[in-house]
Amino acid sequence: MKVSLFATCLVDMFNSNAGKATVELLERLGCEVDFPDSQVCCGQPSYNSGYVKESKEAMKRMIHTFSDSQYVVCPSGSCAYMFHEYEHIFKGDSVWEPKAKALAEKTFELTEFIVNTLGVEDVGAKLQAKATYHTSCHMTRLLGVREAPMKLLSHVEGLEFTELPNKSQCCGFGGTFSVKMGKISEQMVDEKVQHINETESDILIGADAGCLMNIGGRIERIGERVKVMHIAEVLNSR
């Protein structure tokens, strides 16, 4: 099975270990992974800020970049969802709508791909730690991926898991929201960190680099000792 990695901007620039873990994990599960080096931003930040026309140029480039891919796998629910949005953004465009639809049909978030496409729930991971998991808004509410991460984490040997209180609450990142509404965002992430502390976990696990960057940044600034790990890193632990 041939898989093209859609790394995302945040993984590429701020959390490269998550990208490496994704590749190693997929290869261990029998996939042949390539990384199209012409990929850029998916266009989500500018699109959500109202720059629709400008964002479409980046989107067209991404559609072209992955046009020959058998599967596209992304270690971020938010960015994977954006690929699914392309079809609606280009609706009525006789050239780009069918291309956008084709991309959406073969694009999967990492855990969704492992569980639902590869049919694997136990990847043989081992990690001695007490952990909790943050469910990102885009991944659960929009992309609809809820069960796959839990199924995979439940099979990690040595991992003691505690559910995060009020797990459905946003961490306050929201892309440009955290920039435009910084004070509100800060209150939201502080509440999220409070709930993480209530679990007495060593590790916070997440599947979206944006959320992990936001929560991890706050944890570091206020001096907490909880380690933040992308789920790909956890599943790649041996």
Cα–Cα distance, 215 to 189 (Å, whole number) = 6
pLDDT band at 156 (very low <50, low <70, confident <90, very high): very high
User: Of how many residues is the chain composed?
Assistant: 238
In sequence order, the 6+-apart residues with CB closer than 8 A to the CB of 45 are 175, 176
pTM for the complete prediction?
A: 0.94
| Single-letter code of the amino acid located at 118 | L
Cα–Cα distance, 225 to 80 (Å, whole number) = 30
Say which range, 52-66, 140-154, 168-182, has the weakest mean pLDDT: 168-182
Rounded to the nearest angstrom, the gap between the alpha carbon of residue 145 and the centroid of all alpha carbons in its chain is 11
pLDDT of 175 > 80? The answer is: no
Nearest alpha carbon to residue 45 among 35, 36, 37, 54: 54
Average pLDDT of the chain is 95
12-64 per-position pLDDT tens digit: 988 999 999 999 999 999 999 999 999 999 999 999 889 999 999 999 999 99
pLDDT attached to residue 182: 80
